[in-house]
Chain A
């Protein structure tokens, strides 16, 4: 059963394998997101959530599998071409240009836009994140954690991409700010028609705003369902306490005394 949606998926990843050189971290992951929907990816640490996003946006090259945005195959394209295909990516760390001002950060987000549209879009983004409007001339490196995240998301909004990839946007944020970000801004993105794929550590919180959720473990999809079903499922909570598909346990090593 797939995630709810109107048309075909905006983002479709099939059987993606990827890693950082030595070996693959994710072994055949398939996810999809429809326009106007929020799909989340949760799972314990080391399950490959960040690696998945990096493979989708071109930061690392998948060793196998396919990634499509709409009907365009973007598998293996470098990040600048993936951006041109309409994918906006907010990394977990190093998510702003620290020496540039807030306005300049937004302008870089709008790099691919025609000159005149940039100023308009900046206005629009400031409309969504009014606090940014007060800080346009401040250097991004001087912002607080929450403000930086806002800027990072605003930067991605500039292009109004069809697909948003968010990597743990609430990491290092205070709980209230985190909730505000998820229930407010992330949901808004979906409401204006984009497809949002969000990786999160805060499983309960992100389930509350998701239309569909993938549970990743040991580099594979362990479960995929609507939040309602998952929240009611014992297997869901257990999946956070197991890694990978059930591997037959080796007998306990005899204790030498």
Chain B
């Protein structure tokens, strides 16, 4: 190989390293967390500028033809570290756009606009970063000691870039293949449901912005050390599109795909054009290059939106070392494996390491023995001057499968919502296990053991059934950025316990064979079961089910009913809103009947059917 060829190869490797680091950051934001960060290039630019001003001497040096802040002439590796840090910090002002539930495309446009705006500010305010001319004569790392033009230096640079790329891959994999990564993907699939499961959209989006930002910043630092100049022209929004194209083509949601995309698009493309004979007027080939990137993006999004290397299905194998026999032989469905936590002799209300402490101030033992789990006192909900629910006082006894029926508009869903904490109360009280939870928010009631399911499809489509179940477990140590970074060993126990519990539930509900099926591929009935299992993952004391049989085949509905009865026999309390009155007949006792916001009668279906006012209520509608 000639020297020229060698230098060319090293050049390629360095660019590859830089682009891989950047694409991995974007892959984490866009592919895993679903954040369409059209402002991504800003983070890389911030890193590059930071590395530049940290390594440049004072602005007055070199004849003072550049004006910029900083200029502290700091030695390697400070500029690179600074680049990563600033890239991470720059993420914080962007959070105002992504934290809220703004339409995805609106947020994307906002990020794009921010990128353009910052480019404009930097271009025009010369004293900051030397305006449109940008910074040049940026010292290469260790250029005092070594000759940056030497072959050895270039080799070292390429190795450093690739090592950092490998490190970046290791980092994003660690985060993505953890319970936190699963929560990010859940947020990507359905942010409303993720939110209701207690995942903080704001915290999660901020953390991926920061993580991706750090990687982007680092990539900028490495790049500027090599090319020794950086100007606003290098980071317009066209450059963001190139990175997006790379991630989409390579495979969004798969970090290996991001690496492949980085090699194919920014590197591959650039280099391919080098070999084309220059034809047409100057700039013609460059223009065609951009046209080709645009075409590739559109074509891939049409024919293969999952990219060349699509996101892999996570098959959660026997990562736990708990023998299956132990799991199956434990009494009751809700006890997790012996290996992970102490089995309690007391029965289903026993606390496990995954459950929070009992509600402060409550004598837990007394609560467990109280036959009434939930009651309301004159619970009322007014809405626009109408009593949606009017002074309802009910009691739900432990271990019962209680039905809640009534014609449309009777207030059943509203009552359920107030019990769950998703609808605010106008007046009255909700007393759960002896404690007033009237104003306690829904996710906290869930942690106290009062859990609701939803009517509409709420499974995460691109997570497997097993992952859907695991996503519902609160308190998993690996379910935070810090936790995920600490590695598998840190969260393994919690994860294994959750997996064991999920397996037991899948076995019980007959869906073991579907553990690795994507949520989006399930039938209607299977979705309902998954919804129920997900609620059961939190080991609730009381379940609030909102039309669990809706749209389900009668035979399956009966199976679900039988399962629910079994749960009640084991000590669970269930309140169920349903329209399928045949189910009520067979399984529910007692049944509470509501009409026009008030409770009309309570009893078995046979009792209710015998009462003319109940029948009339249905016919009056």
Residues of A that sit less than 8 Å from B by CB = 22-23, 25, 44-46, 171-172, 200-205, 218, 237-238, 240-244, 247, 249-250, 252-253, 255-257
Q: Which residue of A lies closest to B618 (CB)?
A: A240
With A22-B523, A46-B550, A253-B565 as known contacts, state yes or no: A243 contacts B620, CB within 8 Å: no
Interface of B is mostly: helix
* A168, closest chain B residue (CB): B408
Q: Which residues of A contact B569 (CB under 8 A)?
A: 255-257
- Bound together, the chains give a CA A162 to CA B533 distance in angstroms of 51
Q: Which of A203, A241, A252, A257 contacts B605 (CB 8 A)?
A: A241
Expressed in whole angstroms, the Cα–Cα distance for A67 and B27 within the complex equals 51
Q: Is there an interface contact between B554 and A22, defined as CB atoms closer than 8 Å?
A: no
> Is A23 a contact of B524 with CB atoms below 8 Å?
yes
Partner of B618, one of A25, A172, A203: A203
Binding stretch for chain A, among B95-103, B191-199, B314-322, B575-583? B575-583
Q: Which residues of B approach A to under 8 Å, CB–CB?
A: 407-409, 523-524, 550-551, 554, 558, 562, 565-566, 569-570, 579-582, 586, 605, 609, 615-616, 618-621
A201→B605 contact, CB < 8 A: no
B619-A240 in contact (CB<8A): yes
Contacts A201-B408, A204-B620, A253-B562 hold; do A242 and B579 have CB atoms under 8 A apart?
no
Q: List 25 A-B contacts (CB under 8 A).
A: A22-B551, A23-B524, A44-B581, A45-B579, A46-B550, A46-B579, A171-B408, A203-B620, A204-B620, A204-B621, A218-B554, A238-B609, A240-B581, A240-B615, A241-B609, A241-B615, A241-B618, A242-B581, A242-B582, A243-B581, A249-B586, A250-B558, A253-B562, A255-B565, A255-B566
CB distance from A136 to the nearest CB of B (A): 25
Q: Which 5 A-B pairs have the closest CB atoms?
A: A202-B621, A253-B562, A201-B621, A45-B579, A203-B619
By a CB distance below 8 angstroms, the chain A residues around B616 are 204
Least distance between A170 CB and chain B CB atoms (Å): 8
Contacts of B551 in A (CB 8 A): 22-23, 25, 46
Q: Which residues of A contact B554 (CB under 8 A)?
A: 218, 243-244, 247
| Residues of chain A with a CB closer than 8 A to B609's CB | 238, 241
Which residues of the other chain, A, contact B562 by a CB distance below 8 angstroms?
A: 250, 253
- How distant is the Cα of A22 from the Cα of B520 in the complex, in angstroms? 12
Please give 18 more A-B residue pairs, beta carbons under 8 A apart, in addition to A250-B562, A256-B569: A22-B551, A44-B579, A44-B581, A172-B409, A201-B407, A201-B408, A201-B409, A203-B618, A203-B621, A204-B619, A204-B621, A205-B620, A241-B581, A241-B609, A241-B615, A241-B618, A242-B582, A243-B554
Tell me the minimal C-beta distance from A137 to chain B in angstroms: 25
* Inter-subunit contact A237/B409 (CB<8 Å): no
Are B408's CB and A45's CB within 8 A? yes
**Measured between alpha carbons, how far is A125 from B618 in the docked complex, in Å?**
34
Inter-chain CA distance A45–B550, complex, in Å, is 10
CA distance A243 to B605 in the complex (A): 14
Are A22 and B524 in contact, CB atoms less than 8 angstroms apart?
yes
Q: Across the interface, do A44 and B582 meet the contact criterion of CB distance under 8 Å?
A: no
Across-interface contacts of A46 in B (CB, < 8 A): 550-551, 579-580
Instruction: Give the Cβ gap from B316 to chain A, nearest Cβ, in Å.
Output: 27
User: Least Cβ distance of B601 to chain A in Å?
Assistant: 13
Please, how many angstroms separate the alpha-carbon atoms of A257 and B566 in the complex? 9
For B580, give the chain A residue with the smallest CB separation.
A243
Residues of A within 8 A of B620 (CB): 202-205
